[in-house]
Chain A
Amino acid sequence: MIERLMENAAQFLLLLVLSPLVTGVIRTLKARLQTRRGPGILQPYRDLRKLFSKGIVIPETASWIFTATPWVVFFSTILAGLMIPMVAAEAPLGLFGGVLAVIYLLGLGRFFLALSGMDSGSSFGGLGSSREMTISALAEPAMMLAIFTVAIGAGSTGLTEIAGAAIGIAGAAIGQNWRFLAPSQMFAFAALSLVLIAETGRIPVDNPDTHLELTMIHEAMILEYSGPYLALLEWAASIKQLVLMTLLINCFWPFGLQPTWFGFGAVEGICWLLAKLLLLSCAIVLLETVNAKMRLFRVPEMLAVAFTLGSLALISTFLF
């Protein structure tokens, strides 16, 4: 019982501390690639500290949803983060639902975010909400198909089983007969990567740095927030990014995951996690730099590709 609590506490802290760092690293790497100096990798922490010390302005038209949303978004994201294997294959909170619970916890956060965007009474908020919902309604089927493919490969929707199947918890050899080399896993990985770009609001779909009314999606929804509420939402957004990135790397490349959180293994596990996250960040940065932002009506095309790849992945697990 105590061990469980300690595991939860450790992963909770890791999520809180690591997520602004990932955002900062991505920003700095991107700046360097574009031959700018960039604000330094610690800037997101400074931003959060600054926002937490500021006052709050609440629109007159806003209802309780407006003030509840930051908390709901923040804690549902944290809860989802506690249910994925980060350092140890066994997730601290793997009691129920597995990967489906993770996805729909993130969905709950998104639902409240969209509500609050409309609740603020600003026309930009409603615009952002409708765009966000359009994109996520198209991204979700592709994501579910890809996730189910992985789940069928592992024989369970539990993330502990999915990640654990590959590192020898159940006595299986490393890589479980090269499971991740199967074509269905390849398709699923391609689909999930495309969905990751759409869900984290990265450049071909949404630009996280812009406040231009024609293009912003996520920023439009949180436009009316200020001070600590804005800090919570920004933090939740970077935690969500970390959770989705970890989900991708630990489903498909679970190397270096430890059986439990305790002992010297945890240090090794954290090192592996950081290395893999850095690699994925480099890929994201490269993709963001060589691509221009897509027009909004082109986003469904990209997600149609993701959907097709996802369904091919699912079908091909039965064909082979």
Chain B
Amino acid sequence: MLMMPVLDLQFGERIVTLMAALVLVLQIAMVSQRWIVLHIRIFAVQSLFLAMIAATIAWYNHAPHIYIAAVLTLVVKVILVPILFERLVTRMEIHEEIEPIVNVPLSVLIAGGLTLVGYVVAESFYRPDAPGVGHNALAVAISLFLIGFFTMINRRKALTQVLALLSLENGLFLAAISLTYGMPLIVELGILFDVLVAAMVLGILVYRIRETFESMDVSRLRRLRG
């Protein structure tokens, strides 16, 4: 009887690790993706897994406030933000493919290398006796952060950069829930609304850039225009 919760906790940890690995697979898929609509959908699925990770942690650690974070993630990142972006894509009639600065195979290999960096960094935070989901989820979180950052640098168009920023934020969320079982609810709420507002503002900004410069290529912003 005494063993059961421990076993449960181990099983929960395995599930979380597995889903974290899936999140990482999706992040690498995002790096290699050329179609913006698919890119947005992969982001939605990734966020769905993130919400599931949060729910699993809440279930196995009996921490009800994480459920709220999970539901908020589901509503904001899986439903609202993708719908917002897909409408933006249809309104701006984007048909061309994403052209990264570094070519795709090399980008994917760099993403793999960044994952390694993530693991090496996470290793130094690992304490076998400390509570928490373990270094796997943290390593994935750091990798998500690094790959998201790299993707932002690697893209020319503003909209794809915003998507990379959001997947970077997914990494932060994963780090927060895996290390500390969630930040205080008010912080969590703040971050999610921040993301929502940022996505909306950036959406409008992207639209304006497009209207003014007739392109979303941010390198054109350097030019003066009277």
Chain A: residues with CB nearer than 8 A to chain B? 178, 181-183, 186-187, 190, 300-302, 304-305, 307-309, 311-312, 315-316, 319-320
Contact = CB atoms under 8 A, between A and B. Distances in A.
Most buried by A among B20, B111, B112: B112
A62 B201 CA distance: 67
Contacts of A311: 112
Given A178-B14, A187-B21, A300-B105, 11 more contacts: A181-B15, A182-B14, A183-B18, A186-B21, A186-B22, A304-B104, A305-B28, A308-B111, A315-B116, A315-B119, A319-B123
B159 to A, nearest CB: 21
Contacts of A312: 24, 112, 115
Given A301-B32, A305-B29, A312-B115, A183 B21 contact: yes
B108 A308 contact: yes
A302 B104 CA distance: 9
B112 A308 contact: yes
B170 interface: no
Nearest to B22: A186
Q: Looking at chain A's contact residues, is the secondary structure mostly helix, strand, loop, or mixed?
A: helix
Interface string B95-113: 0000000001110110110
B160 interface: no
B136 interface: yes
Interface string B1-34: 0000000000100110110111011001100100
Interface in B70-112: 104-106, 108-109, 111-112
A304 B109 contact: yes
Contacts of B17: 181-183
A95 to B, nearest CB: 35
Given A183-B136, A190-B25, A315-B116, A305 B14 contact: no
Contacts of B22: 186
A187 B24 CA distance: 9
A186 B116 CA distance: 17
A186 B108 CA distance: 18
23 contacts: A178-B14, A183-B17, A183-B18, A186-B21, A190-B25, A301-B104, A301-B105, A301-B108, A304-B32, A304-B105, A304-B106, A305-B32, A308-B28, A308-B108, A308-B112, A309-B25, A309-B28, A312-B115, A315-B116, A315-B119, A319-B119, A319-B123, A319-B139
A270 to B, nearest CB: 30
B80 to A, nearest CB: 25
A304 B21 contact: no
A303 to B, nearest CB: 8
Nearest to B106: A304
Most buried by B among A302, A315, A319: A319
A304 B107 CA distance: 9
A320 B136 contact: yes
B109 to A, nearest CB: 6
A190 B11 CA distance: 22
B25 to A, nearest CB: 5
Contacts of A308: 28, 108-109, 111-112
Most buried by B among A182, A183, A190, A311: A183
A301 B18 CA distance: 25
Nearest to A310: B112
Nearest to A189: B25
Nearest to B107: A304
B105 to A, nearest CB: 4
Nearest to B116: A315
Contacts of A178: 11, 14
A186 B18 contact: yes
B18 A181 contact: yes
Contacts of B20: 183
Contacts of A181: 14-15, 17-18
Nearest to B140: A183
